Amino acid sequence: MQSKGLIKFLVAVLTVACLYALSFTFVTRKVERDAKAFAAGDISKEKAYLDSIASEVVYNLGVAKFTYRECKAQELPLGLDLKGGMNVTMEISLDELIRNLANNPDDEKFNNSLNEAIKLSKSTNKSIVDLFIDEYKASGATKSLASFFATKDNSSVINNSSSEADVKRFLQVESDNAIQNSFKVLRTRIDKFGVASPNIQIQQGTNRILIELPGVNDADRVRKLLQGSAKLEFFETHDNGQIYPLLENINQTLAASQKSTPAVAPKDTAAVDTTKKEDRSLANLAGNTAAKTDSAAAMANLTAQNPLFSVLMPSIYQTPEGQQQLAPGAQVGIAALKDTAKVNEYLTRPEIKALIPSNVKLLWAVKPDQRGDLLSLYAIKVGASESGAVLSGDVITDAREQFGPTNAPEVSMTMNSYGAKEWRRITAKASQKKESIAIVLDNVVYSAPTVQSEIAGGSSSISGNFTIEDTKDLANVLKSGRLPTTAKIVEEAIVGPSLGQAAIDAGLNSSMIAVVVVMLFMVAYYNRAGWAANIAVIFNVFFLMGILASLNAVLTLPGIAGIVLTMGTAVDANVLIYERIREEMRLGKNIKQAIDEGYKHAMSSILDSQITTFLVGVVLFFFGSGPILGFATTLMVGIITSLFTSIFISRLIFEFMLERDIKVSVSFPWSANTLLGANFQFIKKRKLFYTISLIAVAISLISIFTKGFSLGVDFQGGRTYTVRYDNAVNLEDVRKNLDDVFGSSTEVKTFGTSNQVRVTTTYHISETTDEADAEVLAKLNSGLTKVSDKYEILSSQKVGPSIASDIKERAGWSALISILIIAAYILVRFHKWQYSAGAAVATIHDGIILLGLFSLLDGIVPFSLDIDQHFVAAFLTVLGYSVNDTVVVFDRIREDVNKSAGLHKNFGEVINHAINTTLSRTIITSLTLIFVLVVLFIFGGEVIRGFAFAILIGIVVGTYSSIILAAPTVYDLGKNNANIAKPKTAEAKVVTP
């Protein structure tokens, strides 16, 4: 084995890297176990414990130290299906944006074109902007589009003479800005919500934003938080010197209340006297508030004497003379992130709220300082207006990031005429005392710049200690003031913690059992070589988990299924190698030569089979969403680690055994000659097999077009609930009662055990409001209660019709693209279109039969056979694995064609021999996967039972088609083609002496 030293080095480096990546997960799990033990079931107490140590070092590597927050950011996070929580897809209303940018015109052709564009957007990938412009052009309207958008607010970019291309570009930019700004606003709101490891991402090419909130169980609060309109406002501020006496009063009141003594209310709490100056000594302020001590007793005493100042450091600075002074400006305090909850708790106590004047509002900054662990508190001046703000954000017409005169990042903003007038008055007043104006969005301070002078004309710049990213964020926030659109929830899934724990248990059980089953089979069939394969499998799973952790990939239940399947693919590669080693030994070669030749000749089959599956994983990654992304990521990473461990680690083990004269055996006497000398007449009997396949395809197509499918909620839209009763229930009773309350047909299926059901309703399918959600839930409870009042709703999912249509379209495209990619790859590898055609026939055959079985067996088998995103993942995986076995046969055909030169064998004999020669490895590789899938099907849990069933059936059908259809198709297409049926011979060369 060449480069043995390099391989050992790579294994060592990868092992250390994976241990490092996984170590953060081990640390956070330990900390969280300690928190659970401390809280003894009290969730709020557990969260407070974790908040309190967020900035504490919990992992010390000597050269590097990590806080709990840093470890949490690098752990392997669990998906919603494993942890419980909420998954939400938000859709930005771009049609509303377009109308408002045109000042809501009453032009009939404009509105009809936009309405038609909205309808078409549900069945096409084109953007609403493109569809709207196309529809308006097709409407025969004579009025130019520019005339609608040439408003005063848009005058800097659009006028009456602007071209259609200008309008299109303008609308696309505004649409992108709306989506990006909504993303920023939603991300900030979620950060305020306090969710651990949230995931928020824009679905590229769409106007949708995907949000995952693990551990969240307050769905109503999340809906209100996400769907509330963004509110941008400008506030005057109080100076730090004016607010410090108030903070000191609060501190003393808290200290007094902790001693159970009555608090002394101030004489005047109506308003802050802005003329009063603070003359108190600050000499000991820093020591009292920031002193650090290792003495627990001293710290407890400090906290008792200064409850507020022990968690909130007043904003001070040190003069050149060494004296402590209050810092000027609107910032009145700084707190560690872990202490902000305690500060909020203090400030919301009734006795403290009574101390805070009506014209004072204390708000936190949007994000921590550059160190990442300190958050600033600002004092906002509440005015006489309804909201208390001096100006609302809707006056802003434009905002953008730029570089100032000193080349420092800053933000420029432009206001409309009303805003410019008010802004001049506000800044003139603030500039007299160099006061700050706070820019506030959703009660969070994004910036509080000091006003240096009166600003006329409505154009101004905001500078400060900004990074480029800061100015981008602030510009987007300012644009939200004129963002004339809304975001609504079009899909949501809620998974209760109990279902999440069940999913974890099912995933772990299936993984452990699958490992044991595969390992036992490998040892029982391949003797000592089986142990080498088993060690490679263990390394494979370890490397896979480590790489997933380093990528910060979210582990989902389909992801665990991908890990289990990866075990099967890792064994597949070893099976191909071992079968080839046995074949070389039968030719009389010693074990060392056989191992060398086995690895050499099996390599092309291994690479071809794994690459085709990897390509399917790529398609899944780009077309899937949610848990399917987790499955695709796991599948792709697993294939890479499988190749590495199967090819290199097992080889290192063999080399180790050979160097120490340890006997290497690749079979037992009973398994040494499995299918040896097989001579089944596959080519002669191909017409019989064609007939059987045609009948199966015909039955499948008839069922597909007559009976159809049971579509999952993500394909048809609607709401789905998983309900668990205390005792077994009659499905018909549940269905009848729900049909009565909904006034329409309701789908009710057993989900796992007889006391658990899955309910799907299309009632209010087109409505996504909170009121519609509440009404559906009320009717559901009404119907369920008629059966028994002892039940629990474990999870729920809501999908709007527009997103269901989009998911179906993406699924269709992903299947078509997968087949084309596989065919193209085989064409490149084998250089003959007949091989691509043979593989395409086999994969289409497998796909139709799999779809047909899901149609035929739906309602007959005691588990769900819904066509949903999980089925699409299974379907595409089946296509990839079907090609695995096909490629193994094709590789042997190509090899035998070259060997048959001069032996006068016809093409049919060569193909038949190739199929029979590879029969044992085709069946054994399929058997290892079938073992794994049977384990997944039985122990993987109800959530993925249909998923496992689809792949299980697909592997069986795929094995059949690889043997019976793919190679015989190549024969029929190539038997009269000399270029494929005969090997290429080298041209004779004349050498001149």
Task: Report yes or no: 819 and 827 within 8 Å, Cβ to Cβ.
Answer: no
Task: Report yes or no: 113 and 148 within 8 Å, Cβ to Cβ.
Answer: no
Helix orientation angle between 945-961 and 557-586, rounded to the nearest 10 degrees: 30
CA distance 811 to 657: 48
Prediction pTM value: 0.67
Residue 989 is predicted with a pLDDT of 36
> Does residue 714 register a pLDDT over 80?
no
Q: What is the mean pLDDT of residues 406-410?
A: 83
CA distance 16 to 89: 38
Residue 358 backbone phi and psi in degrees, to 5: -70, -20
Residue 22 is predicted with a pLDDT of 93
**DSSP letter string over 72-104?**
HHHS--B-HHHH-EEEEEEEE-HHHHHHHHTT-
What are the boundaries of each domain within the chain?
4-75, 89-230+488-492, 238-389, 496-671+680-707+806-981, 718-799
| pLDDT-above-70 percentage for the chain | 87
Q: What is the pLDDT of residues 942-957, one digit of tens each?
A: 777 888 898 899 889 9
> Does residue 642 register a pLDDT over 80?
yes
> Does residue 479 register a pLDDT over 60?
yes
| Selected residue with higher pLDDT from 503 and 577 | 577
CA distance 614 to 620: 10
Question: Cβ atoms within 10 A of the Cβ of 550, count?
Answer: 16
Q: What is the pLDDT of residues 603-615, one digit of tens each?
A: 887 887 788 788 8
Average predicted confidence (pLDDT) for the chain: 81
Tell me the H-state helices in 154-309. 164-193, 219-227, 240-258, 285-290, 296-305
Q: What is the mean pLDDT of residues 119-146?
A: 83
DSSP E strands, 530-648 = none
CA distances, 81 to each of 503, 553, 554, 814 (Å)? 7, 14, 11, 24
Residue 691 is predicted with a pLDDT of 94
Q: What are the b/e assignments for 913-952, b being 16+ CB within 10 Å?
A: bbbbbbbbbbbbbbbbbbbbbebbbebbbbbbbbbbbbbb
> Does residue 968 register a pLDDT over 70?
yes
CA distance 355 to 878: 68
Residues in the chain: 993
CA distance 449 to 446: 10
CA distances, 345 to each of 313, 349, 353, 511, 958 (Å)? 16, 7, 11, 45, 62
- Give the least confident one: 578-592, 694-708, 826-840: 826-840
Strands 374-381 and 459-463: unpaired
Whose structure tokens read 């998954």?
A: 87
Q: What is the mean pLDDT of residues 85-95?
A: 84
> Does residue 646 register a pLDDT over 60?
yes
Contacts of 967 (CB under 8 A, 6+ apart): 682, 838, 886, 889, 890, 893, 911, 914, 915
**Beta bridge mates, 555:** 78
Contacts of 74 (CB under 8 A, 6+ apart): 21, 24, 66, 549, 552
Whose structure tokens read 């099976």?
A: 575
In CATH terms, is domain 718-799 a member of 3.30.70.3400?
yes
> Does residue 763 register a pLDDT over 80?
yes
| Selected residue with higher pLDDT from 58 and 46 | 58
Q: What is the mean pLDDT of residues 163-177?
A: 88
Task: Report yes or no: 645 and 608 within 8 Å, Cβ to Cβ.
Answer: no
| Selected residue with higher pLDDT from 564 and 316 | 316
Residue 615 is predicted with a pLDDT of 85
* 373-378-380 Cα angle (round to 5): 155
